[in-house]
Chains A and B, each alone.
Chain A
Amino acid sequence: MSLGGFDVQVVRESGFATEEMTLNMGPQHPSTHGVLRFVVRADGEVMTEAVPDVGYLHRSIEKIAEKVGYHGFMPYTDRVDYVAAMPCNQGWAMVCEKLAGLEVPRRAEFCRVIATEFNRIASHLLAVGSMGMDIGAYTPFTHALREREYINDLLEELCGARLTFNYVRIGGVGWDLPPDFERKGLAYIERFEPLIDEYNSLISFNKIYKERLAGVAVISAADAINYNLTGPNLRASGVKFDVRRDLPYSIYPELDFDVPVGTGEAGVVGDCFDRYMLRIREMQESCKILRQCLRQVPPGSVLGKVPRKFKPPVGDAYVRLESARGDMGWYCVSDGTEYPYRVKIRTGSFTATSIIEKVSRGLMIADLIAVIASLDLVAPEIDR
């Protein structure tokens, strides 16, 4: 029995006047992930278009970089995507290291990867939990957040903060792993990995859930590449590309993990369910990576020799790394002084928001929520 809805064809007989409603899914809303506004034109339940209106969280972070200097910009990078702050930190450090040609100590690379992968799991937990809650299932959200709390505790032991870490430094990381961190991290992975299966049996393969998400907002691979979708959004459309595997950086070449791709298991390749399932699978891959890293952290220093007044040579560099929301592009122009001349951060959510207008034509309002949640938008990334 399929709950597939009506075939959406709004045909009006002559003489029956109807009006299109213009609705405002305003900046304050329980379900748009962050401060995001959509102007929706709808004919009853069916939308003709949903135009995003962004900028409510614009803090001109890129201009601030020109004022605070290379070292001083690190805490600001946390706020670019506060849900997955470690990759943002790492991105800024990587672009500065590329400009100055610095080597990062091996132990520092391991610390960076461990922190980033834990953060990736936390971010995906929040994403899938919020998605469940938006679709109406309140329980998976609380279970996901419960698991995320343990990761927050681990990362708090590591760097003192639970959300905006400011852990990575140019040339290494800020603090070494605390004693017994590896054992605690491995114990957590042991506890967490079977819970993913429990999560799946609770919500992922629930019939109502699948019917809500299957076949909704299908994004083809060509569209995904053309609109520069990244990360889970791109891979769900069938493009097997992961920056950690294909443009490897740090110690990822030595680690063994798979890159899951969307297979259209509930409907069509590239629909909301694929994007959702892909995040679940990526959490499992992150567990694999963490197991390998936590078992073989080499000894050594965690911070290379970096001058206090960091003055990279004149030039500009572009670095890509895999954040929780896909590949982030960090572009930095240096003019030889200790203040960057221009910093540009190209984030996954920014490009994902640009496709919503196209994808939302003909969907229902309830589906718009599902689309926003499945693209895993966070407002700070869009607006910076």
Chain B
Amino acid sequence: MKELVLSLIADGGVLAGVPYAVAAPLVMLGFGAVVVFGFVLPIAGITSWLERRVWARIQSRVGPNRVGPQGFLQWLADGLKNLLKEDIIPSAADRWLFSLAPYLVVAGFIATFAAIPFAAPLIIADLNIGILYITAVTGIVVVGVLMAGWASNNKWSLLGGIRSAAQIISYEIPAGLSVFPVVLLTGTLSMQGIIQAQGWAPWDWFLFHNPFTFVAFFLFFVAALAEGNRTPFDIPEAESELVAGFCTEYSGMRYLLFFLEEWGNLYVIGAIVTTLFLGGWQVPAFTENLLVLTLVQFGVFFLKAYFFVFLAMWIRATLPRVRVDQLMTLCWKYMVPIAIVNMLGTAVWMIVVSEALGRLVQIAMTIAGAAIVVLFFRRVRFHLRRARLQPADYYYSPII
């Protein structure tokens, strides 16, 4: 970043003559704006469209398919509609907190993108405390949600807000603890550093590095789902109980901002999991052309991260919701001890296990992982075949 700014303010550059102290923040803001408006917000919107389509197919129906090809512009239509809606603030609500809450929530989520890598040179700020910064900044979301619940002056919203606060705060612990094995292995908190410590091949990923990081992967993903208020942990916005939980009283764009945060957060979760466990944007060095390599890296990272977005949608359509006390039990009685064991186990592994044995375990775990994936696809194929009914067995509605 520094070299880029220096080259821009040198003679002949675009910002020639501008002092460094002004140019550096300007350039960073510029990149931030490009990332936010060009990537983050469209991704959040497109995730909403994809979620509705994926949900619908799982539920044996079609989903939005009218606005644009395959309903692709549905998210734009929804956004536009919500912008034009009346902004209702309940008269008994706390006006300032009520208005501020959605902005805090969205700020907390967008700020994480300052440290999320897209490809080897593509990152706004490669902080040396990268992953710690991301975990910390997502905590602002809690403040926003609590504010929304309290300021709505509605007992159901309050319940939703408090549940959400308890949930997010509790699940920060297993999530944070599950990051530690990876940090121990790399010795750095920097996102790019973590990715560079892995390789492009599955057996070089931290996912298959040792059994403890394997478990840490699942633990982290589940804890991140809970932090993002996604089913099976979507108690704060449990439709059937609290209408819409902490965002019941919101209307129009303020309401949509909460959901923008939810969908965008899915991508953040995916990006973090990819960085920590799946080798990030690493690809084999197959070309000298920097542009092509960067594009391929970007594509690889995006696909890996987006797979987890898809996985979260899939889980949401399938699983029911856990109750609040069961959620807390799961976190404190099961996930935290396992996460601590993971951390200690990784530390011990690093000391005790030799290079060769570690390599062997990596390869063995990769083969096991590949075998599980193959078995999974075979099961899917079996079910697809079994579900295919012959027309003769099918009763056709006389109306159609």
Contacts and interface: CB of A to CB of B under 8 A. Distances in A.
Direct contact of A and B (CB under 8 A): yes
B87 interface: no
A299 B78 CA distance: 58
B136 to A, nearest CB: 29
B289 interface: no
A154 B396 CA distance: 10
Given A137-B319, A153-B398, A3 B329 contact: yes
A136 B389 CA distance: 29
Interface string B330-346: 10001000000000000
A3 B330 contact: yes
B318 interface: yes
Contact of B399 (A23, A30, A132, A153): A153
Interface size class of A (residues with CB under 8 A): 35 or more
A63 interface: no
A187 interface: yes
B240 A208 contact: no
B159 A365 contact: yes
- Please name the 8 residue pairs, one residue from A and one from B, whose CB atoms are nearest each other, closest first: A136-B321, A5-B325, A31-B240, A142-B59, A137-B320, A136-B320, A3-B326, A187-B395
Contacts of A31: 239-241
Contact of B238 (A21, A136, A143): A136
B58 A139 contact: yes
Interface in A326-381: 364-367, 369
Interface in B27-64: 55, 58-61
A191 B395 contact: yes
A208 B232 contact: yes
A153 B398 CA distance: 7
A156 B399 CA distance: 9
B60 A146 contact: yes
Interface string B120-161: 000000000000000000000000000000000001100100
A367 B239 CA distance: 14
B393 A190 contact: yes
B324 interface: yes
A323 B323 CA distance: 32
A212 B321 CA distance: 8
Given A6-B325, A30-B240, A31-B240, A209 B395 contact: no
B274 interface: no
Nearest to B163: A45
A205 interface: no
Contacts of A132: 320
Interface of B: 55, 58-61, 155-156, 159, 231-232, 234-235, 238-241, 243, 317-326, 328-330, 334, 389, 393-395, 397-399
Contacts of B399: 153, 156
A146 B61 CA distance: 9
Interface string A212-244: 100000000000000000000000000000000
A62 interface: no
A202 B241 CA distance: 22
Nearest to A135: B320
Contact of B232 (A136, A150, A184, A364): A136
B398 A136 contact: no
Contacts of A133: 240
A313 B60 CA distance: 54
Nearest to A29: B243
Interface in A101-155: 132-139, 141-143, 146, 149-150, 153-154
A170 B155 CA distance: 51
Contacts of B239: 30-31
B159 A153 contact: no
10 contacts: A3-B330, A23-B159, A31-B240, A136-B232, A143-B59, A184-B395, A208-B321, A208-B322, A365-B241, A366-B324
B241 A206 contact: no
Nearest to B235: A366
A367 B238 CA distance: 13
Given A202-B318, A211-B322, 17 more contacts: A3-B322, A3-B329, A4-B326, A4-B329, A5-B325, A31-B240, A45-B159, A136-B232, A153-B397, A191-B393, A203-B320, A206-B319, A208-B320, A209-B320, A212-B321, A369-B240, A369-B241
B240 A134 contact: yes
A175 B328 CA distance: 58
Nearest to B394: A191
A191 B389 contact: yes
Nearest to B318: A139
B385 to A, nearest CB: 14
Contacts of B334: 1
Q: Which of B58, B323, B326 has the most CB of A within 10 A?
A: B323
A157 interface: yes
A342 B390 CA distance: 53
B342 to A, nearest CB: 17
A278 to B, nearest CB: 19
Nearest to A28: B243
A188 interface: yes
Nearest to A130: B240
A367 B323 contact: yes
Nearest to B330: A3
